[in-house]
Amino acid sequence: MNYCYECGTKLMQKELQNEGMIPYCPSCCRYRFPIFSTAVSMIVRNPDHTKILLIQQYGTKNNILVAGYINKGENAEAAVIREVREETGLKVKSLHFNKTEYFQRTNTLMLNYSCTVENESLEHLNTVEVDKAQWFTNEQARQNIMPNSLAERFLLNYLNQGD
């Protein structure tokens, strides 16, 4: 970010106490911290925690986690509940935060959660956004998640911690 996103003035570097040198707009007199998107990704679990839901999207056969961007003004937990409902038609009854990872390709900070849904019904699946959704046992999910993906790192980290 070289120019102020509010007024277009060229940014300078200015010392901010305890933070070091931060981009600063001398016209707005405001520090301009880096801008990136924020999204949630979800390890969706059935009520007795024996299965995990993986989905396929965008015409590929890769099994990935349910995910979506957080709206401005929305908290991450609300985004988890909303995205799971929008994409799968399932209702989240509990959720837990796991970990985060920055995804450079889309300049997005991904916040990974695990959540438990009320039932395994896929009859209200959003077939516009999701090509396919399938429940896997925890071990099958480990084998079938898209290799070398952020989704795989989140899932393996979660499964390896146990619960």
| Residue 155, CA distances (Å) to 18, 67, 72, 147 in order | 35, 13, 27, 11
Nearer to Zn ion, 23 or 87 (CB): 23
Nearer to Zn ion, 26 or 47 (CB): 26
User: Residue 91 has what DSSP assignment?
Assistant: P
Nearer to Zn ion, 7 or 78 (CB): 7
Where helices occur in the chain by DSSP H, the ranges are 76-88, 138-144, 150-161
User: Residue 17 has what DSSP assignment?
Assistant: T
Least distance CB 29 / Zn ion (angstroms): 8
Nearer to Zn ion, 14 or 142 (CB): 14
Nearer to Zn ion, 35 or 128 (CB): 35
Question: Where does this chain bind Zn ion (CB under 5 A)?
Answer: 4, 6-7, 9, 25, 27-28
92: nearest Cα among 63, 119, 69: 119
Least distance CB 101 / Zn ion (angstroms): 31
User: Residue 131 has what DSSP assignment?
Assistant: S
118: nearest Cα among 155, 81, 66: 81
User: Residue 149 has what DSSP assignment?
Assistant: S
- With beta carbons less than 8 A apart as the criterion, state whether 119 and 47 touch: yes
Least distance CB 1 / Zn ion (angstroms): 11
Least distance CB 22 / Zn ion (angstroms): 14
Q: Name the residue number minimizing CB distance to Zn ion.
A: 4
Least distance CB 26 / Zn ion (angstroms): 8
